[in-house]
A = this chain, B = another copy of it.
Amino acid sequence: MALKIQPLSDRVLIEPMAAEQKTASGLYIPDTAKEKPQQGKVVAVGNGKKDYDMTVKVGDTVLYGKYSGTELKLDGSEYLMMREDDILAIV
């Protein structure tokens, strides 16, 4: 399903992965974050700002801090909207 949503400015919409998932790099989320996944897939990316170009692309798997972003529910699934600067890394 394609989401018709355009994040504003330097924001990124992320679909969190379940805590037991594992990326290609074998990266696991920390034990202390069991109840809340810290890894997700980018599903929509903003256009950046006048002096800030976006780095992540739709489809990237990213790591982010435990309390980052605003939760949004869409057709029963949870998403996270956060600023790109809250994303730690692409894995």
Binding site for B on A (CB under 8 A): 3-9, 11, 13, 23-32, 44, 46-47, 50-53, 55-56, 62-63, 65, 70-75, 81, 84-85, 87-91
Q: How far is the CA of A13 from the CA of B25 in the complex (A)?
A: 14
Complex Cα distance, B73 from A51, in Å, reads 33
* A46 CA to B90 CA, complexed, in Å: 10
Contacts A24-B4, A25-B3, A91-B4; A9 near B73 (Cβ below 8 A): no
Copies of this polypeptide in the complex: 7
A68-B51 Cα distance, complex, nearest whole Å: 25
Would you call A9 and B55 a contact (CB within 8 A)? Answer: yes
> Which of B46, B52, B63, B81 sits near A50, CB closer than 8 Å?
B52
